[in-house]
């Protein structure tokens, strides 16, 4: 079972990504614009003034590399977990937090990982992904036999969703980081989960250039 030992704070990019994903999924389709706007904002959390204000607050914090209260993040994940589209929210949030994290890197670093010769570029990109995973997600990322492996001992996701549903955010984020910073082309499978009795949460590459080399 997951322990209750959690850090006191999380990188503000994490709650920011969740709220932006909620807003994105709650945005009206083209044929819904004819509905009364106030009615839509009542029906859909992502269109509320409260969510807009929270997005702006977390965005300011994230741009400074600041952190947010972990209990606030846990409560947000619990709220999302009650939605019928929770899996979509968590997956999209993972991609968003990875994209935000990479944008915080200086462009020479990102460019170097792309332009260096294959072996050097691959190692440089993996080093950047490893640093971003640790700093923003608290995830340990490494290579085994040339394939990426990610582990996470404690996470707000486990406190918020004892069934491990919110772990999807981390798997999606790791895969997106690898796609943006290395030649990875695949998915990260959640092969072990603390919610299912595992000693740690672990993700391994399903299919990628690394795993086929």
pLDDT tens by residue, 123-137: 888 999 999 999 999
Confidence of residue 108 (pLDDT cuts 50, 70, 90): confident
Distances from the Cα of 6 to the Cα of 9, 52, 167, 200, angstroms: 8, 27, 15, 14
Q: What is the pTM of this model?
A: 0.83
Angstrom distance (rounded) from CA 153 to CA 140: 9
Separation between Cα atoms, residue 94 and residue 146, nearest integer Å? 23
pLDDT, one tens digit per residue, over 3-59 is: 445 668 899 999 999 999 999 988 776 554 455 455 544 456 656 888 899 999 999
73 contacts 15 by C-beta, under 8 angstroms: yes
Domains and CATH numbers, the chain: 9-212 (3.30.1380)
For 205, phi then psi, to 5°, come to -65, 130
Q: What is the pLDDT of residue 161?
A: 93
Lowest mean pLDDT among 14-18, 65-69, 137-141, 196-200: 196-200
């Amino acid at each position: 079972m997951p322990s209750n030992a959690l850090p006191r704070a999380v990188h503000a990019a994490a709650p920011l990504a969740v709220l932006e994903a909620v807003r994105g999924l709650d945005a009206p389709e083209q044929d819904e614009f004819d509905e009364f706007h106030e009615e839509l904002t009542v029906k859909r959390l992502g269109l509320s003034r409260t969510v807009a204000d929270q997005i702006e607050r977390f965005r300011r914090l994230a741009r400074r590399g600041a952190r947010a209260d972990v209990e606030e993040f846990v409560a947000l994940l619990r709220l999302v977990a009650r939605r019928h589209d929770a899996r979509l929210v968590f997956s999209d949030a993972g991609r968003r937090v990875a994209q935000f994290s990479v944008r915080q890197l200086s462009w020479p670093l990102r460019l170097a990982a792309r332009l260096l010769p294959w072996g050097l570029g691959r190692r440089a990109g993996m080093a950047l992904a490893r640093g971003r995973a640790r700093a923003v997600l608290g995830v340990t990322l490494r290579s085994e036999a040339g394939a990426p492996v990610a582990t996470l001992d404690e996470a707000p996701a486990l406190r918020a969703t004892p069934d491990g549903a919110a772990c999807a955010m981390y798997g999606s984020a790791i895969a997106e980081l690898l796609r943006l910073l290395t030649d990875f082309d695949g998915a990260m499978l959640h092969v072990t989960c603390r919610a299912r009795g595992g000693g740690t949460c672990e993700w391994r590459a399903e299919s990628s250039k690394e795993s086929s080399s």
